[in-house]
Structure 1
Amino acid sequence: MMIKALVLNCTLKPSRETSNTQALIEEVTKIMEANDVSTEILTMNDFNIEVGVTAEAVSEKDEWPMIFEKVKKADILIIGSPIWLGDQSSITTKIIERLYGGSSLTNEKGQYIYYNKVGGVIVTGNEDGAKHVSRNIIYALSHIGVTIPPNVDTYWVGEAGPGPSFIEAEGYKNEFTMQHAKIMAYNLMHFAKLLKENPIPTEGNVIDGK
């Protein structure tokens, strides 16, 4: 059974630059790949993604529809975000709005299109705010129809004030962060397989109300 995981890295940096969020994302995807899960990480800043609440192209240059096709094919959807001023990045907000724009679409059974996908969040930052950002993203994913297993938020933050971030501070040595990276990966894989084998039944949740 092939499980596909898609990670949308919402760092403000392009992929050619070193990203602390990317580094923690890779700690999670390494576990998934070791368990035969197909993973793909897309850095959102590499693409021209217009502002809007729609799954369709906002302009001729808008590349969101291509990314949205990958979202539709994914069994696991993870959003990675840095923390800026105690909140998620502006790119994270834009991506959530574009995901929301497709939330009225339905699958072949008449359920919302994000049904039978599982979601999680990965957060990095210099100071506290990780739980706030995780809460925002997890609620957004749940609201549009993504299933949220237990303990699928993984984060790392440094001490108060300016200082080294995940890579420089060797956050991969943090026992709490790495334990939750493992828990997150396994819980997402477990629930993705469960939903592959036992999709959410249609009773009471098809859009026509039947």
Structure 2
Amino acid sequence: MLDAVQEKLCDENKTDFSDINALLLNCTLKPSPGGSHTDKLLGIVETIMVRNQVQVERVRPVDFTIAPGVYPDMTQHGADRDDWPEIWEKVEAADILILGSPIWLGEKSSVCQRVIERLYAHSGKTNDRGQYAFYGKVGGCMVTGNEDGIKHVAMGVLYSLQHVGYTIPPQADAGWIGEAGPGPSYGDQLDDGSYAGFDNDFTRRNTTFATWNMMHLARMLKDAGGIPAHGNSTDLWKEGRRFDAPNPDYR
């Protein structure tokens, strides 16, 4: 699955990532075990991470019953069933969260949007330093399709992740759309026996850069003990600390 350059990068790596956990949420609309083009692109990410001892789990949220809403457990707010708490346990334990999404009508999938809404349900949760729960975690995204929208989808996903507290590394997104309009999707076998997108240097390079940047930033944050709490602790703010910020002078 990796080319010679990617293999060499893995072989030459000297950084220990063995205590890093990554969760890859494939927000395809296709339940398992149906084929997923997004899954194939996430496979590149997973292969690089596993080669470097990152603990990786890949999940399709569409396989679960995720109730709509912005509360941690929607069964407490009228839903008959809500499997989100099971996924949340995996999200909470992960140092890196990657959302993979296909493009539909220029937008991320409805499954991806629902996942983001449910992540937002935990945006008020804090860690032991009074910071929001996603502080110190790394976010990124992968996008596939055969219509315009990679940057648009990435813009919305990455904004949402950083808004709830994830740290976004440089170039934390990658994708493949091929030619605009109907045509082969990522990983489709072509008439010559090759697979669409696999040999696309732009996609392979960006996917590689994004994966390594997420691993490096996760390593840096873990080694630093997360984000310093000065200036961003809700607990200290409630206690009256204003972190040296005076009230504005309106004279």
Contact 1:130 1:156 in 2 (8 A): yes
1:77 and 2:103 matched = no
Counterpart-to-counterpart distance in 1, 2:115 and 2:165: 16
Matched, 1:56 2:62: no
Distance 1:160 1:170 in 2: 14
TM-score, normalization by structure 2: 0.82
- Report the Cα offset of residue 172 of structure 1: 1.3
Counterparts of 2:130 and 2:80, CA distance in 1: 30
Cα displacement (A) at 1:57: 3.5
Separation of aligned partners in 2, 1:60 and 1:107: 30
CA contact (8 A) 1:123 1:154 kept: yes
Q: Confirm whether residue 40 of structure 1 aligns to residue 40 of structure 2.
A: no
| Code of the aligned partner of 1:29 | E
Aligned-pair distance for 1:60? 4.8
Q: Write the letter of the residue equivalent to 2:234.
A: I
Equivalent of residue 227 in structure 2, options 200, 203, 209: 200
Higher relative contact order (CA 8 A, sep 6+): 1
Structure with greater proportional strand content: 1
Query: Any stretches of 5+ residues in structure 1 without a counterpart?
Result: none
Q: Percent of pairs identical after alignment? A: 50
Contact 1:57–1:63 (Cα < 8 Å) also in 2: no
Q: 1:175 aligns to what?
A: 201
Q: Deviations over 1:135-179 (max 9, x none)?
A: 000000000000000011010002122111001152111101011
Match of 1:91 among 102, 111, 125: 111
1:10 counterpart (27, 30, 44): 27
* Contact 1:57–1:65 (CA under 8 A) maintained in structure 2: no
Instruction: Please give the alpha-carbon distance, in whole angstroms, between the structure 1 residues aligned to 2:146 and 2:171.
Output: 22
Is 2:164 the partner of 1:138? no
Distance of 2:198 and 2:123 partners within structure 1: 35
Partners in 1 of 2:138 and 2:215 — Cα distance? 9
Q: AA paired with 1:188?
A: M
| Equivalent pair of 1:21/1:124 in contact (CA under 8 Å) | yes
> Which letter maps to 2:227?
I
**Ranges in structure 2 where 5+ consecutive residues have no aligned partner:** 1-17, 189-194, 242-251
- The root-mean-square deviation of aligned C-alpha atoms, in Å, is 1.0
**Deviation digits for residues 63-83 of structure 1, max 9, x if unmatched?**
000101111110000000000
1:185 to partner: Cα distance: 1.0
For 1:48, give the aligned amino acid: T
What letter matches 2:206 in structure 1?
H
1:112 is matched with: 132
Number of aligned residue pairs = 210
The CA deviation at 1:61 is 2.0
SS of the aligned residue for 2:101 comes to: strand
Contact 1:128-1:158 within 8 A present in 2 as well: no
